[in-house]
Amino acid sequence: MARKEYKGEINDKERSKQKLINAVGEVLKTKGYIGLSATNIAEAAGLSRRLITIYFDSVDDLVETYVRNKDYWTTAFRKVEEMTNENKGVGGKKMIDYILQNQLDYFYNNPEMQKLILWEISEKTKVMYDVSEERERLGSQVFNLVDKEFEGIDIRAISAILVAGIYYMVLHAKSTDTLFCEIDINQPEGMKRIKNAISLIVENT
């Protein structure tokens, strides 16, 4: 019988760190952002509270690591860079439409992110402030790429309205399970109508 390979102290550390990061998401889903304490996170991870300060310095650092790993915009902007590198002719409208369509899907299907956005807009914290600043920095890079195509048009303001609309519609649908402007995005037909509307707005901008 083959002997199990010992993974070593470094791998043990990485596994424990990932358990703590994942535990942040579990606490968010079950207790909300107000439940993000060292005790709750450690309990969800099945690890000692002491490891949080050893590996992340503080609970805030751990939560920020989780948020940066889960935040849609960080991943989306990496994809935009790939699209730009792979296809130098990718249009600004295609890029903006891609980002918004995927934001809608990601946010709708991610209850942890829904809790994080509610946290961001209801309570001023350093963690969410830093993440928001990072989004703005990455967003500026995207806008700089598409500015020429949208010359004379305030694509930043239009994008702001669309992003805010996506956030609100998803939170409304998940919280109340009621119609919004006679549309139910909890149903495939309703979701398709909103996606078509996003593409229409971007195409005619």
Tokens of residue 19, six digits: 């358990």
Total number of domains constituting the chain: 2
Residue 36 lies in a domain: yes
Neighbours of 28 (CB within 10 A): 25
Residue 24 lies in a domain: yes
Tokens of residue 184, six digits: 């139910």
Residues 147, 184 within the same domain: yes
Q: Mean pLDDT, to the nearest integer, of 77-95?
A: 69
Q: Which of 43, 66, 89 is the last residue of a domain?
A: 66
pTM: 0.79
Q: Which of 51, 66, 81 is the last residue of a domain?
A: 66
Q: Are 191 and 101 in contact (CB under 8 A)?
A: no
Q: Are 195 and 101 in contact (CB under 8 A)?
A: yes
Residues 103, 153 within the same domain: yes
Q: The domain containing residue 193 runs over which residues?
A: 71-203
Residues 28, 127 within the same domain: no
pLDDT digits (tens, 9 = 90+) for 29-74: 888 888 989 999 999 999 999 999 999 988 989 998 898 888 787 7
